[in-house]
Amino acid sequence: MELGAFKAAVDAWLDEQGPALACDYEGVGTLDEQMIQLRKVMKMAYDAGFMRMGWPERVGGLGGSNLLRAYLGEALTARDLVEPGIYSMPEVLAPTMIDFAPEALATEMVPKLLSGEEIWCQGFSEPGTGSNLGSLACRAERTDAGWRINGQKVWTSLAQYAQRCVLLTRTGTPESAHRGITALFVDMESPGITVRPIETMHGAKEFCEVFYDDVVVPLDRVLGEVDGGWSIAMDLLPYERSTALWHRAAYLQRRLEQLVSAAPAGTLDPRAVGEATQLLWAFRARSRATQRRLAAGETLGSETSIDKVLVATAEQAIFDLVGEGLGPEVAVRDDPESERWRAEFLYSRAATIYGGSAEIQRNIIARRLLELGDDR
């Protein structure tokens, strides 16, 4: 389907199904409520065919370019039907499966993800492995029964809801660094997995610690090559900085628009509003170009670090304004709308931390794009 026709079809469907798709809670909602809403919207969009657009047919998709996915997420986010962070997780997880899973596994599993039937998570970070992903220690040993996993992950989003996990494990020696990492596709119901949600500053228990004690994973659940997990992580990170960020921009635009209507006169500095608007528009221009390059079959790489720095900068600029124009809402009001502004204001503080910190993005830009050589 062409983008123009797809947009018209999505818009018409959203108009028609508006009441059925709408959230049935006020304000930010609990994470449980957000997850119910997410799965409802994904299932309805999947059944209507829209959620299958832009994905290959061999995993239950209906084909077409990534621009279709970008538009669907934008439209759902602009209408405040989904929270873009949790909605966009398949944008990273599905390509992992499509590019690296054994074909039958991808065919079996990806439709469950896209339809909202299952939630998946991504086990990358560890207590001792934040920015330095190559140092991860969660161990997977090959036994006759399968891969035996022991270790701990942290910052695993939505692990308490997840049926599956794309897990990075250490299969080489502890010194093997990026050469000895293997990606496994793990059932979260496997014995030996303990999930402990972490309460964050913004009030949602979105991130979890996950403990793996003698967890056994079938040998055929390897994604890519044994000891080849690093290249999977590297291939996937640009996905995290493309379509998902386009969705995020739709959310930021909606919130900025709501802010300028809600903030009392005189509370916002016009120049700061102008700067935030310019930044968001510049991000949209760049992210759209990234979407188009992806649609043209280009491989995305380090240049998407610029997209990531820009969106995080725009997000914090916008929510800095929220802190000014809606200062009392953020600080002392407890009605559902104020609680939502407060939660989102706080969450924006993490925009330069998650998904590769602002410093790591600048390191990538310096090394890969500016070719500044080693930093030691």
Partner 1 sequence: METAELELFHRSIRRATETCGDESLDAALDEIGWRDALAADRSTAVSVLFEAQGLAVADSSALDWLLAAALGEEEGQASVVLSPLRRPEAPARVSAGRCEVRGLGTKAVALNDAAVVVAETDGGSVACTVKVSALELRKVRGLDPWLGLVEVTGHLDAGATRPVDWAGAVSLGQLALGHELVGLARAMLELARRHALERVQFGRPISSFQAIRHRLAESLVALEAADGLLAAAWEDPSPVTAAMAKGLAGRSARTVARHAQQVLAGIGFTTEHPLHRYVRRTIVLDQLLGASSVLTAQLGQNVLERATLPPTFPL
Q: Applying CB under 8 A, which residues contact partner 1?
A: 3, 7, 67, 70-71, 74, 246, 253, 256-257, 260-261, 265, 268-275, 277-279, 281-286, 288-289, 291, 306, 309-310, 313, 359, 361-363, 365-367, 369-370, 372-376
Cα 25 to chain centroid distance, Å, stands at: 23
CA atoms within 13 A on the CB side of 106: 21
Nearest approach, Cβ of 98 to partner 1 (angstroms)? Answer: 22
Give 137 or 358: the residue with its C-beta nearer to partner 1: 358
Nearest approach, Cβ of 120 to partner 1 (angstroms)? Answer: 26
Give 145 or 285: the residue with its C-beta nearer to partner 1: 285
Nearest approach, Cβ of 176 to partner 1 (angstroms)? Answer: 26
Is residue 219 within 8 Å of residue 146, measured between CB atoms? yes
Is residue 179 within 8 Å of residue 228, measured between CB atoms? no
Nearest approach, Cβ of 341 to partner 1 (angstroms)? Answer: 17
Q: Can you read off the two tokens belonging to residue 303?
A: 């240049």
Give 155 or 246: the residue with its C-beta nearer to partner 1: 246
Q: Collapse the DSSP code of 48 into the 3-class scheme (helix H, G, I; strand E, B; otherwise coil) and give the result.
A: coil
Give 119 or 309: the residue with its C-beta nearer to partner 1: 309
- Strands 207-217 and 164-170, sheet pairing: unpaired
Q: Can you read off the two tokens belonging to residue 212?
A: 């793996």
Closest CA to 312 of 277, 279, 274, 271: 279
- Please enumerate in sequence order all residues whose Cβ is within 8 A of that of 161, keeping only pairs 6 or more positions apart, or say none: 35, 119
Nearest approach, Cβ of 276 to partner 1 (angstroms)? Answer: 8
Give 71 or 345: the residue with its C-beta nearer to partner 1: 71
Q: Collapse the DSSP code of 141 into the 3-class scheme (helix H, G, I; strand E, B; otherwise coil) and give the result.
A: strand
**Three-state SS string across 28-60, please?**
CCCHHHHHHHHHHHHHHHHHCCHHHCCCCHHHC
Which H or E element spans position 170? strand 164-170
Name the region of 138 (left: φ>0; alpha: ψ -120 to 50; beta: rest).
Answer: beta
Q: Can you read off the two tokens belonging to residue 316?
A: 């914090």
Give 262 or 350: the residue with its C-beta nearer to partner 1: 262
Nearest approach, Cβ of 268 to partner 1 (angstroms)? Answer: 6
Give 154 or 279: the residue with its C-beta nearer to partner 1: 279
Give 101 or 250: the residue with its C-beta nearer to partner 1: 250
Closest CA to 221 of 135, 104, 91: 104
Give 52 or 284: the residue with its C-beta nearer to partner 1: 284
Nearest approach, Cβ of 298 to partner 1 (angstroms)? Answer: 16
Nearest approach, Cβ of 108 to partner 1 (angstroms)? Answer: 31
Nearest approach, Cβ of 318 to partner 1 (angstroms)? Answer: 11
Q: Collapse the DSSP code of 22 into the 3-class scheme (helix H, G, I; strand E, B; otherwise coil) and give the result.
A: coil
Q: What is the distance between the alpha carbons of residues 216 and 167, in angstroms, rounded to a whole number?
A: 13
Which H or E element spans position 217? strand 207-217
